[in-house]
Structure 1
Amino acid sequence: MPLSSAAAGLCLGLPTAAAALALAAPAWAQEAAAQNDADVIVRAQQAQKQVTSDGDLGALGRQEALATPFNVSTYTAQLVLDQQSETLGDVLENDPSVRTTYGFGNQSEQFVIRGFALNGDDIAIDGLYGITPRQLVSPEPYESVQVLNGASAFLFGASPGGSGIGGTINLTPKRAERTLLRATASYGANSVVGGNVDLGTRFGPDRAFGLRVNGVYRNGDTAIDDEHRKVTVASASFDFRKGPGRFFLDFGYEDQQARQARPTVTLDANVAVPRVPGAGANYAQPWTYTHLRDIYALARAELDVAAGWTLYAAAGFRDGSETGEYSSLTVTDGATGAATASRLYVPREDNNEAGQAGIRGRFTVAGISNQFNAGASVSYQENRNSFAFGDFPASVRTSCGTSALNFCTNLYAPAVVGLPPFSSTPGFVAGSFTTLPRVSSSELKSVYVSDTIGLFDDRVLITGGLRRQNIVVDAFDRTSLVRTTRYDESRTTPVVGVVLRPARTLSFYGNRIEGLAQGPTAPTSALVINPGEVFAPFKSVQYEVGAKLELRGLTGTLALYQTRQPSTYNAPTAMAGLSRFVVDGEQRNRGIELSLNGEPTNWLRFLGGVTINEAEITRSLNGLNNGKDAVGVPDYQVNFGAEVSPAALKGLTFTGGVVMTGEQAINIPTTTSALQELPDWTRFDLGARYVFVADEHPVTLRVSAENIDNRRYWYSAFGGYLLQGSPRTVKASLTFEY
């Protein structure tokens, strides 16, 4: 090309290139900005908190972790979403102080905290007992699931179901904090398909009104052979926040169905522990089922009457209905798996109401800070139910020589029998099945007062409080409908707690607190000389010391505790063959808890810890059982999980967890029966989630596998009932958030 032509081309090309660069620059900048926005959204999604150590301590109100003389873990809605949790038991698989087992014969989740039972009746919502759906609870409608380790009779009042000596669970409903539209589609093995939606908005002048709605639906076969589950949940929360006042109104509906769900197993006297069936094996009868339906509502109002002072009041109710056909196995030969089983049909209805009111405030006198609380609470519960066992034909029971109430089966090759008619044996059918008779009613009332004083700029916090509680329980005959027993007892339960904070990130604490449960009633029996005698409420006493440390995004808690709980037995009398039912026994549980939660870096997260238990009988008839292990309480429990988000794999998080449980006693050995124990077990879980941005909205894909090697193991022996661990369970979900 001639020089002149080249020069001309260059003169024309440079302006053209410059113009092209000028036109392209805004597009590049927009693309880079969009990329940066996407990175921010992804990082924000990955940084959501899954657990905190703050908590709502009932009468003491909400407290920050290091200012609390108790061990509290609060699992957030983000954890429920990330771990695809479907029940409270799934959520509490993260807690080393908790194990989840089943109630007798059915699929109700029962929690064991520090070696003591917490029944489904004794889980609180927003500090109120009796409102939570009993048996099975879906966690999706709740902003947090709080676990308070230890007794709580002062903090939350006596539990109406008589459990909760080792700990309390309190649920906080989801409420509107911002505009939210979140939809999740889910799939689980073998064919559980469903999803949930979570919608929220604030509106009106100054955004004073809020509305939050949640819906859940799942239906399909689980990883256990022939087991089917169906769940329908709806909840709504309305709130109004204006000036010094706040008002909340929460509604909930749950419908839980389980068909041919794998039952628990009991062992006949002196029967060796059978080998564990296949991980997915099912020994339930096709006609067994559980159907639970609950409707509940609660309202709360708060009014700031002066600087630092708040009046509050709350009330709620629950209407519950449940029916079920149950059939659990009793193994009669541990080597062959030979067993017997029965039929039990139970329809039940519950009507509960609860309320509380109080005042809390902060003030300073002579340089000493005070956190004052006073209030009152009331809870009323009524239960109506009937029951019927079945009569089985000779053809299904003669081979093992059992009575008409049972049939012959086998743990490893379960017999399939038809649904039998109701039993004709007197005493094995009771109550009307058209209009269920009232069986029991209870009323719990209390008043409380406390003060937490702060010394040396709140580096020393001392809490003292008293709650006076009255428990009234009536029992009624299912046939005559007349009241058979009445129980009316009152007790005062104190609390003392101390927190020392030598540094902002370190605290040491101690507490003495009591548990309170309805006292027992002596059984009606011709062999008991005091039938129907009602005993005073059980008072357990807990002592606990510990330390909490916050460092580099981590919160570590160390707790040492001891709890003594009364127990009952039949004491012989001078009259041959007759005994007296007495409350003269005692069980002592003590242990060490160590937990570690948080994010030491922006790519690593820890969740879990370890608990060491020593649960033994310390007082028994003539000391025969003193020093023996309590049934179903492992020597140690480990729940530990980790999440890793590699910087090189933007938006991707790998998850892993291990659950370990020590040996568990199945029975208390005697001169005629040897000790039976479940061996220790270990389970591994793996998962991953990936966050990406679609049209400026976060989308999260999750996949997880519980019990990845499909290990077979006996999970729990609490109460003497063997519960088999779940098989490998794969879950996947896709969440879109607007």
Structure 2
Amino acid sequence: MPNPRFRFSLITIAITQLLAIGSNAFAQSQEQILQEVVVSASRSSKVDSSKVGGFIAINIQDTPLALNVFSASQLQDLRVRQTSDAMKFDASVSDAYNAVGYAEQFSIRGFTLDNSSSYRKDGFAIPGDASIPLENKERLEILKGISGLQSGFTTPGGIIHYVTKRPTNSLVRSTTLEASERGTLYGAVDLGGKTDDKQFGYRINAAIEKLRSYVKGADGERQFAGFAFNWQISPQALFQIDADYQHKSQISVPGFQLFDGKDLPRGIKADMMLNNQNWVKPVDTKSSNLGLRFEYQINQNWTTEIAANAHEFKRDDFTAFPYGCRAQELFPGYCANGDYDVYDYQSTGETKKLRGLQVIASGKFFTGEVQHRIAFGASSSQRRDYYGDYLYDYAGSSNVFHPVMVPQTAGKTGPVLLRRTDKERSVFVQDIVKLSDALDLHLGLRHLNVDRAQLGSPNFEQSYNLPNAALVLKATHSTNTYLSLSEGLEHGGVAPIGTSNENRMLDAGKSKQIEFGVKSAIDRDLNVSAAIFRITKPLEYTNATNMFVSAGEAEHRGLEIAAQGNLASNWMLGLSATALNARQNNTGDASIEGKRVTNVPNFKSTIYTDYALAAWPGTHLTASWQYSGSKSFSPDNKVTVPGFNVVNLGARYTTQIQGVVSTFRFDINNAFNKFYWRDVTQSLGGYLFPGAPRTYKISGQFDF
């Protein structure tokens, strides 16, 4: 493999040359020199419509569900490099075993997302088992709540949807250079445009990164490349293709377990590394994606579309895994003095292949005086998971505060086999009925057939109907209210490592939701919304006999409030707040009956602002304040972690350098260096992850 320093130097040289070419071109043509930068808060970043709520593109203001959409420019201004950065600005989203150097995993409305179905790209499921690249994404959309109509099988919290960048009518020539943390270096380019006749268009994105995490020793590298191509075959026919590839290799960072099996770890620093044996290898992931889409406009009222997507994910997973304390017979838990057992964990050759196909026809018609906007179609998907018997052998003992080197075991992983297949076939219909100028009825139904097989478990095949209905009342010209009812479906969980029925697959479970919401556009640049909801689903957990079971019900009741917009021409403000009551009911287990669901705060909020200084044109000051209430760590609620406040500060300066629009950004995250537990999951025996300490980030973005 080529030296990563050489690759980083190569792309830096290329970027420099590209800038030089762009600068010379601008210098030769006065007509192309941009005018003086206008001082204002971000206005052009607003996204007005989306399809993530169904199959019909409608104004977000008119959707009968809770959505949060980040545009490409918002992702830049908020300093978003990975999905975790964006989720900090939505109070309904939390970490769920989100370990540095591993997969980014989240929960929405208190429900952990499913890595196999809750992360989607251009409408198709993609694995959430590694960081999903954002360089070629135009928008990042969060749908909160049940999405059975939109997605079929998925957990009831919602979905995270990535929309690919497409060619633009005007030329795109942009590059970004960034340095952060302990020497993390990042470079990216974004190129796009169309031919003079607008028949062909292209978009090219590439990035390279040298990773030096704030956790000492969690180093790695990442490379990404992607392209999108448009062919306007005729005024009615459009063909699109996109493809991307990412390689990432990084030492992963395990969490901490309770000291003495019952006490929160003490004396912990956020940069501590338990995966620090000299034989540890990085987690190495490769992912590739190919998307195809053909759209044909039959007439001014009707459009057809056929789309396909193929995704492949590969991972070699290595960890010196910290778990338990043999000296005190604690499993899970660390010894009272910080000793812990070290296991040699290896899983090589993991592969996941996903294929999807979808056909949709959409249009509008009238029945008498009543207008219908309708979409109907069919979809199919297939997922195939390959992996071998993993290695998980005891290697020795170490200490949190005084690390000990232990020898690597001599064990080997088993041969890679096809272990799991999922096949889904659906037909669906969505109809938006305009009952009057002020009242819309949204109706939807997905009929879903699933065939699921896993080695060691009985095959599962079943058909389901997933209905969705909502009323949207336009109370005033700028305010909508809605009431919605929906049903969802999720795959049954697979018993985790260490349970008595390890790797056994539970039956699928249905979820139900009722939601009432209000959305108001106070003016063109300020939008506010609120939603109150109740979601129920079968509860899955490891019981007192160490068996992973589905018993009882998880009930999540909550209130969400959001606001975003410009309070003045030079002042943008955003707010997101969620109050959530998540309980475990009808379990038959007195130790957890009626108790809080783990890793879910009762209240969480984020406030962020962007203020343009009139005295220094082009200068913006930014800040955010993130608050999370206490969270239960143990299912019986005997152990909780305290709430926390985190403040982030930043500045942005935009100017022109020889006609190149240049934006320089400087950020201080966790400005007061607050220690806090950001993620206290029960996954894999229960782990606590500290939040990042104070970190710095500086970058330059050049658009020419």
TM-score normalised by the chain length of structure 1: 0.84
Counterpart pick for 1:728 among 656, 678, 694: 694
Does the 8 Å CA contact 2:98/2:679 hold for their aligned counterparts?
Answer: no
1:453 aligns with 2:433: yes
How big is the shift at 1:631? 1.0
Within 2, Cα distance between the matches of 1:135 and 1:641? 28
Within 2, Cα distance between the matches of 1:527 and 1:714? 30
How big is the shift at 1:365? 3.0
More displaced, 591-600 or 51-60? Answer: 51-60
Residue equivalent to 2:634? 667
Within 1, Cα distance between the matches of 2:80 and 2:134? 7
Alpha-carbon deviations, 1:529-560, whole Å to 9, x = none? xx999764210101110101111311111010
Within 2, Cα distance between the matches of 1:227 and 1:526? 29
Residue equivalent to 1:691? 654
- Taking structure 1 as reference, are residues 653 and 585 closer, same or farther at Cα in structure 2, changes over 3 Å only? same
Residue equivalent to 1:490? 463
Question: Residue 125 of structure 2 aligns to a residue in which SS?
Answer: coil
More displaced, 108-117 or 270-279? Answer: 270-279
- Taking structure 1 as reference, are residues 316 and 154 closer, same or farther at Cα in structure 2, changes over 3 Å only? same
Residue equivalent to 1:251? 243
1:180 aligns with 2:206: no
How big is the shift at 1:269? 7.8
- Taking structure 1 as reference, are residues 532 and 419 closer, same or farther at Cα in structure 2, changes over 3 Å only? closer
Does the 8 Å CA contact 1:57/1:63 hold for their aligned counterparts?
Answer: no
Give the AA of the match of 1:312: E
Question: Residue 88 of structure 2 aligns to a residue in which SS?
Answer: helix
Counterpart pick for 1:420 among 371, 391, 409: 409
**Aligned residue runs from structure 1 range 561-572, under 5 A:** 561-568=533-540
1:264 aligns with 2:255: yes
Residue equivalent to 2:110? 115
- Taking structure 1 as reference, are residues 629 and 570 closer, same or farther at Cα in structure 2, changes over 3 Å only? closer
Does the 8 Å CA contact 2:347/2:413 hold for their aligned counterparts?
Answer: no
Within 2, Cα distance between the matches of 1:85 and 1:407? 39
1 or 2, which has the higher helix percentage? 1
- Taking structure 1 as reference, are residues 686 and 546 closer, same or farther at Cα in structure 2, changes over 3 Å only? same
Counterpart pick for 1:324 among 317, 330, 339: 317
- Taking structure 1 as reference, are residues 418 and 689 closer, same or farther at Cα in structure 2, changes over 3 Å only? farther
1:649 aligns with 2:628: no
Residue equivalent to 1:711? 674
Counterpart pick for 1:598 among 533, 540, 565: 565
- Taking structure 1 as reference, are residues 333 and 134 closer, same or farther at Cα in structure 2, changes over 3 Å only? closer
Within 2, Cα distance between the matches of 1:516 and 1:108? 23
Counterpart pick for 1:62 among 57, 63, 67: 57
How big is the shift at 1:324? 1.6
Within 2, Cα distance between the matches of 1:316 and 1:35? 39
Alpha-carbon deviations, 1:692-724, whole Å to 9, x = none? 012333110011111112222111113332111
Within 2, Cα distance between the matches of 1:532 and 1:375? 35
Within 2, Cα distance between the matches of 1:53 and 1:272? 48
Counterpart pick for 1:500 among 470, 473, 480: 473
Within 1, Cα distance between the matches of 2:90 and 2:499? 45
Residue equivalent to 1:425? none
Does the 8 Å CA contact 1:620/1:626 hold for their aligned counterparts?
Answer: yes
Residue equivalent to 1:308? 301
Measured on the aligned residues, the alpha-carbon RMSD in Å equals 2.8
Counterpart pick for 1:475 among 444, 448, 454: 454
How big is the shift at 1:295? 1.0
How big is the shift at 1:340? 2.1
How big is the shift at 1:336? 3.0
How big is the shift at 1:167? 1.0
Residue equivalent to 2:124? 128
More displaced, 324-333 or 281-290? Answer: 324-333
Alpha-carbon deviations, 1:477-501, whole Å to 9, x = none? 6xxxxxx531111111100111111
Alpha-carbon deviations, 1:620-670, whole Å to 9, x = none? 02555321111111111112111100211100000000111111111122x
Within 1, Cα distance between the matches of 2:184 and 2:589? 54
Question: Residue 35 of structure 2 aligns to a residue in which SS?
Answer: helix
Give the AA of the match of 1:252: D
Counterpart pick for 2:373 among 365, 371, 374: 371
Question: Residue 452 of structure 1 aligns to a residue in which SS?
Answer: strand
Within 2, Cα distance between the matches of 1:737 and 1:194? 17
Give the AA of the match of 1:195: G
Residue equivalent to 1:426? none
**Of the two, which has the highest radius of gyration?**
1
Counterpart pick for 1:38 among 29, 35, 38: 35
- Taking structure 1 as reference, are residues 262 and 96 closer, same or farther at Cα in structure 2, changes over 3 Å only? same
- Taking structure 1 as reference, are residues 476 and 313 closer, same or farther at Cα in structure 2, changes over 3 Å only? same
Alpha-carbon deviations, 1:101-121, whole Å to 9, x = none? 435897111111000011443
- Taking structure 1 as reference, are residues 42 and 222 closer, same or farther at Cα in structure 2, changes over 3 Å only? farther
Does the 8 Å CA contact 1:51/1:73 hold for their aligned counterparts?
Answer: no
Alpha-carbon deviations, 1:241-284, whole Å to 9, x = none? 3311222101010111112x321223378421112512322222
**Aligned residue runs from structure 1 range 327-366, under 5 A:** 327-330=320-323, 332-333=333-334, 336-347=337-348, 348-366=350-368
Within 1, Cα distance between the matches of 2:33 and 2:202? 32
Does the 8 Å CA contact 2:290/2:311 hold for their aligned counterparts?
Answer: yes
Question: Residue 712 of structure 1 aligns to a residue in which SS?
Answer: coil
Residue equivalent to 1:539? 510
Within 1, Cα distance between the matches of 2:260 and 2:305? 54
Within 2, Cα distance between the matches of 1:386 and 1:175? 38
Within 1, Cα distance between the matches of 2:535 and 2:362? 29
Alpha-carbon deviations, 1:392-420, whole Å to 9, x = none? xxxxxxxxxxxxx2522222333233432
Does the 8 Å CA contact 1:390/1:421 hold for their aligned counterparts?
Answer: no
Does the 8 Å CA contact 2:346/2:413 hold for their aligned counterparts?
Answer: no
Within 2, Cα distance between the matches of 1:229 and 1:626? 44
- Taking structure 1 as reference, are residues 707 and 98 closer, same or farther at Cα in structure 2, changes over 3 Å only? same
How big is the shift at 1:390? 5.0
- Taking structure 1 as reference, are residues 222 and 583 closer, same or farther at Cα in structure 2, changes over 3 Å only? closer
- Taking structure 1 as reference, are residues 233 and 36 closer, same or farther at Cα in structure 2, changes over 3 Å only? closer
Residue equivalent to 1:3? none
How big is the shift at 1:613? 0.9
Does the 8 Å CA contact 2:347/2:391 hold for their aligned counterparts?
Answer: no
- Taking structure 1 as reference, are residues 602 and 416 closer, same or farther at Cα in structure 2, changes over 3 Å only? farther
Give the AA of the match of 2:467: P
Residue equivalent to 2:665? 702
Question: Residue 390 of structure 2 aligns to a residue in which SS?
Answer: strand
Alpha-carbon deviations, 1:223-250, whole Å to 9, x = none? 2222213111111000123311222101
Question: Residue 668 of structure 1 aligns to a residue in which SS?
Answer: coil
**Aligned residue runs from structure 1 range 93-172, under 5 A:** 93-102=88-97, 107-122=102-117, 123-130=119-126, 134-159=129-154, 164-172=155-163
Give the AA of the match of 1:299: L
Within 2, Cα distance between the matches of 1:381 and 1:614? 35
- Taking structure 1 as reference, are residues 521 and 386 closer, same or farther at Cα in structure 2, changes over 3 Å only? closer
Question: Residue 107 of structure 1 aligns to a residue in which SS?
Answer: coil
- Taking structure 1 as reference, are residues 338 and 270 closer, same or farther at Cα in structure 2, changes over 3 Å only? same
Residue equivalent to 1:411? 400
Does the 8 Å CA contact 1:352/1:380 hold for their aligned counterparts?
Answer: yes
- Taking structure 1 as reference, are residues 49 and 636 closer, same or farther at Cα in structure 2, changes over 3 Å only? farther
TM-score normalised by the chain length of structure 2: 0.88
Residue equivalent to 1:28? none
Alpha-carbon deviations, 1:146-182, whole Å to 9, x = none? 00010101112213xxxx3101111100011121100
How big is the shift at 1:333? 4.7
Does the 8 Å CA contact 1:105/1:327 hold for their aligned counterparts?
Answer: no
Counterpart pick for 1:439 among 419, 426, 431: 419
Question: Residue 94 of structure 1 aligns to a residue in which SS?
Answer: coil
